[in-house]
Each structure stands twice: as C-alpha cells, then as structure tokens.
Chains A and B, each alone.
Chain A
Amino acid sequence: MIKLINTDGSRAKNLLPKVLGAAALSVALSTAFMGTASAQDLADVEVNSYHVQGNVWVLTGAGGHVTVQIGDQGVLVVDTQFAETAPKIVEEIERLAPGKTIRYVINTHAHGDHTGGNAIVRSAGETIVAGNEAGDVGATFEPGAEVIAHENVMLSMATANPPLPFEAWPTEVYIGNKYDFYFNGEPVELLYQGRAHTNGDSIIFFRKSDVIAAGDIYVTEGFPFIDQNNFGHINGIIDGLNQIISITVPLEQQEGGTMVISSHGRLSDEADVVEYRDMLTIIRDRVQYLIDEGMSLEEVLEVGPARDYSNRYGNGFISTDDFITAVYNNLSE
C-alpha cells in the first residue's frame, strides 16, 4: 500500500501552476525564466516531502520533483530544481535524514529546473573517494557529492550559453544504455533513453524500493516537451514509456505495485503510464498517417490530430499546436 505522507502534517499547496512556466523556460539552460517568476518567487516556494515507498521520497517545490533515496549509507538525490529552491531542498533532506550525508546526485537530464540546484545540493554532501581515483578526482573538482548523468547532459551544460558554473556540471558521466551501482541496500539503475525528451535523459530505477523516477519522459500535467534544440524525439519518449511499462509490475488489478514519479505531476503506477503512452502513441500514429497522406504542417494542425486529448493535456506548458508541430517535425526528419 502506498504511504503518502506530508511530513509536516500539513496539506501541500499546489505549487506547479505558478512556477511551471519558469521551470519550463529554463530548459534553454539560461536564467531567462526569471522573466516569468522572479528569483524571489522561487525563493518563496514551499518545499514539501512525501514518502513514496521503500527508501524513496519525493520532494515538491518549483521545477521538476526531486526524488530522494535515504538509507544507512546516506542520501541519494535525483535532480535539484533551481538554485533558488535548492537550499530548501537541502533543508528538507536534513529534516528527513538527520545526520546523514548526501552521497550522490543524479540528473535525469540537463534542463535548468532539474539541475539549477546542483552546485548547492552537491556542496552539502560528500562522496567517498579513495584508492586509484582519489588523486584524479581531487585534482579536478571541489569536494562534494558526485553528480552523475549521461554524457550528453555534461555536453549540454558545458556548452550552455550563457555559461553555467563549473560546480554545477556532472562530475561522473556515462555512455551506453545503462549505469548502475548498489546503494542503501538496493540496486540503483540509470537507464539511458536516447533521443527522447532531450538526448540525455535517464530514468532512475530503485529496484528494491520498486520506484522509478521518470524525469521529463512522463509528465502527467500535459503533453511532453520535445526539446528539439537538444535532439528530443517523440519516438524516444514513447520508447521510454514502454520501457517503464516493461519494468513496472502492478500489485493487483492494474493498480499499485511499482510506483512512478512524474517530474511534473502526480505519483503514478503502471496504469497511469499506460494511459499516457497510449495517448502519445495514438497521436504519433495519426500525425504519421497524415504526413503519409501528404499533408503539410498547417494542414495537419487544421485536422487537429490531438483534439480529443487537448482539453486534458493541452493547457499546460506545451500547447497542443506546439506539441503537434514538434511531432510533425520529428517524423519528417
């Protein structure tokens, strides 16, 4: 059974509407989001935490939800929101795990609403480094928790304009389809998604806790953002959702069991991901069909291949037309 506990006993505010615009604008890896929500707005955001199951908690605030795994070995943090909210993230972690050290930070992708707090969160922690690596590591970065991500996250952040502080970059990157390690009594798997939301997405599977942090592959708030500037692709997002469905196991009657943390939206299980996957697959298939019929983008938009889903999903950060345009462009490559 899912235990969903607001740790301070209060009802959480719905913080997403006010800051979602800011969070999403930051995908350009700049501070341009300040035009929509000021630094003060972000600093005023309330951070709340909820127990998902096993060792895993989710923290809300501004930007993408933060996933936190807590155990005897310390704390692992997935995504760090913004620099303005990161101190509150650290504060909440210290409240949840008094006396424990943040050992690892993982970035699901490079966008600023998921990495903006990297420097602050990692500086609050420390990864144990010794043996052959010690000299190399010590010479290359300041002490703090290791920040792990796919190599393309590093490439995006290292080439961002305006430049991002070196302290915010990942300190450990991987290539290939998977990176894993054992921490707090369970395997932690980073599963690379190829060209999906960006070209650097990982979903994070906490195997014993039976929780997946899906990053921005799965966004219950609306249509997904296909970041074409960072090589995003609708097929990669659908493939990612299918991978999540292949991992998840419902407790009974297609409910409960493996839990999935949507970066922007509610806690979910397999059936919720199936609904979202079905929706994206159907719309993708329709756009492909209309392209095959020889229609231009304008003609496809006129048909409205997502018009049965736009009431539900088209009022978020990504409009229906922007989503269909991205899908059309992807499928026309």
Chain B
Amino acid sequence: MNKFTIKAFAASFLFPLLTAPFLAQASVEGYWQPIYHEDFEERLPGPEAGDYAGLPINDAMRLRGDTWQSGLLNVPEHQCKPHPSTYGFRGIGNLHFQEILDPESQELIALTTHIEWQAQRRTIYMDGREHPNELYPHTWGGFSTGHFEGDTLVVHTTHLKAGWIRRNGMALSDEATLDEYFMLNDDQTLMTHVSIVTDPNYLTEPFIRTNGWSRLHEVNMGPYPCRPAIEIDREVGEIPHWMIDTEQSHAGSIEFSERWNIPLEAARGGAHTALPEFMDTVAE
C-alpha cells in the first residue's frame, strides 16, 4: 500500500468522523405547522374572561385580569400588536425557521423565526454574544440567545415588551424572561416546544407550557401588513377597563366558574390550582 493509498484510506474513515457532528445535528430549519390538540380551547377560540385556572399568578395579576376589557384591543395603538414571543408560538400561523450562516466559515450565527400572524419576527443569536444592557429597547420578540444541547435547541430571551401570557388580560411585564427548548423527534418531522416564562411581577413561579409543531414541506407564507383604524369613536386617551373591585371586575371569574361548574377558587388560579392534589381539595 503506497502513501497515497494509506492517506486516502485514513481519510475515508476520518471524513465521516469530522463531519458527523454537523450531519447528526438536528435542524429546526424549515416550515412548521402548529398542532392544536393541546389546549385547543384556549389557543383558537380563546380563553374566557376570568379564567385563570392553572396559572401560577399572584394577586397583582388577578387584578390585571379582572379589570381588563377586550375593548382595549380596538384602541388604534393596540390593534397591530403581534404576540410577544411568550405567546406567539402558542398562537395561530405557520412558523418558518431559517439559519443565518457566516458566509465564509459557514458557522451558524443566528436562527430567525417568522410566524405568519402579525408577521412575528425574531432573531435567536447562536454566536455566543451577551445580552445587551438595560438601556437597550425592548421588543415583542425580545433579545434571544441560543445554543444546542445535544439535539435540543435551548433559547434564553430578555428585553421583552410588556404583553400577555393569555389573551384575557393575563399580563406579562417588561421584566419577564423566557426560556425555551425546541426538541425534534427521531425523523425530525415533529417538534415539541417547551416555553418557561418567569415574571417577577406577576408570576409566583415559572410558567411552563408545551406546544406541538409538525414539519411542512410545501407552504406559502403570506405577508401580514397591519394598519390601525378608528373602529370606535373615543375621547383621546380613553382606555377601556373595568373599575377596581366592582361587580363588573368580579363578573368574569364568577361567570366562568358557574358556566363550567368548577369552584371559583379554581377559576381564580394560582400555582396550587395546577397540581393534581388540588382536585382532592375541590372534591372535599
């Protein structure tokens, strides 16, 4: 065996070894369709007013929810808000994951996500950069950094705008953070998204949810422009909200508990209402 043959022979073994990490790496790139079998009622028709069941919320959050009016959504400056990234992956619309590679080294610099509804766009930096300081603007997507742990994409997000975690006034403060895990099944056709929201102002403990996605091979992502319009003639600066500690502010949870015949305590939420043993309390 001559030298050339030996080198070629060695290379035939080494090449797969050198490239294996890249070939084996799970790829979230591509188009994904949300699977709504989990929490369908909340995600598509939408949650009922006063339904805080299972949410690890504090009293401040309950009051935010109690005094929230859906009329807020037709105030012009509220109309074109997209979901913050704490909710967007739970909402409607296909998802497009794209990789941004360094043109020379082909190293992964960032992943971008685009969800069709309200054109929710976000960048997840994969190049090890630090999060910016306190002066940096907050956005709906927040400032996200990520890395792979095995085949799982792990993402940490700060600098979020004040928004919501449920579409019935369950608020998100601008001091909240988001941790996410994107996991693929073996043939990379299904993706599980784990979302963990931490909010020192409204949550008593991290709020964990999962969402399912299935890979799409043919998709048409349409544009989603939005321009606000005056739908209801209001005085400048009039903000719809129920007054504090009134019959109206209490009505949501009461109506929800009566309609579904569940205890009011369950409707009012709190971390304990998410635990199996809470059912024992209810049974008593």
Interface residues of A (CB under 8 A from B): 2, 4, 6, 11-12, 14, 16, 50, 58, 60, 220, 238-239, 242, 245-246, 250, 252-255, 259, 266-272, 274-275, 277-278, 281-282, 285-286, 289, 303, 305, 307-312
Contact = CB atoms under 8 A, between A and B. Distances in A.
A282 B61 contact: no
B241 A282 contact: yes
B118 A253 contact: yes
A253 B119 contact: yes
Contacts of B225: 252
Contacts of A255: 82, 139-140, 161
A60 B133 CA distance: 12
A275 B174 CA distance: 10
Given A285-B243, A310-B60, A12 B162 contact: no
A285 B238 CA distance: 10
Contacts of B247: none
A254 to B, nearest CB: 5
B138 A312 contact: no
A254 B80 contact: yes
A254 B119 CA distance: 11
B60 A266 contact: no
A14 B243 CA distance: 37
Contacts of B264: none
Contact of A312 (B82, B173, B241, B244): B173
Nearest to A308: B63
A14 B134 contact: yes
A266 B160 CA distance: 12
A151 B1 CA distance: 95
B81 to A, nearest CB: 5
B283 interface: no
B155 to A, nearest CB: 20
B239 A2 contact: no
Given A255-B139, A282-B239, A303-B244, A271 B60 contact: no
Given A281-B239, A303-B244, A4 B119 contact: no
Interface in B238-255: 238-239, 241, 243-245
B17 to A, nearest CB: 39
A7 B236 CA distance: 40
Interface in B208-236: 225-226, 236
Given A4-B136, A4-B137, A253 B241 contact: no
Contacts of B162: 272, 275
B243 A289 contact: yes
Q: Which 6 A-B pairs have the closest CB atoms?
A: A308-B63, A311-B201, A242-B237, A308-B60, A275-B162, A281-B239
Interface string B51-89: 000000011110110010000100001101110000000
B91 interface: no
A280 to B, nearest CB: 9
30 contacts: A11-B133, A12-B133, A12-B135, A220-B174, A242-B236, A242-B237, A246-B236, A252-B119, A253-B81, A253-B119, A253-B140, A254-B82, A255-B140, A266-B137, A270-B77, A271-B77, A271-B81, A271-B161, A272-B174, A274-B77, A274-B78, A277-B239, A278-B72, A278-B239, A281-B239, A282-B239, A282-B241, A307-B59, A308-B67, A312-B173
A267 B139 CA distance: 11
Contacts of B175: 312
Contact of B67 (A2, A246, A282): A282
B243 A259 contact: no
Contacts of A252: 119, 225-226
Contact of A307 (B63, B118, B173): B63
B77 to A, nearest CB: 5
Contacts of B137: 2, 4, 259, 266-269, 272
A220 B173 CA distance: 12
Contacts of B120: 253
Given A60-B135, A266-B134, 13 more contacts: A4-B132, A4-B135, A239-B237, A253-B80, A267-B137, A272-B137, A272-B162, A272-B174, A289-B244, A307-B63, A308-B63, A308-B67, A311-B202
B138 A266 contact: yes
B136 A303 contact: no
A275 B161 contact: yes
Given A253-B140, A254-B81, A259-B137, A312 B201 contact: yes
A220 B241 CA distance: 22
Contacts of B77: 245, 254, 270-271, 274
Nearest to B162: A275
Contacts of A289: 243-244
Nearest to B60: A308
Nearest to B65: A308
A238 B118 CA distance: 29
B47 interface: no
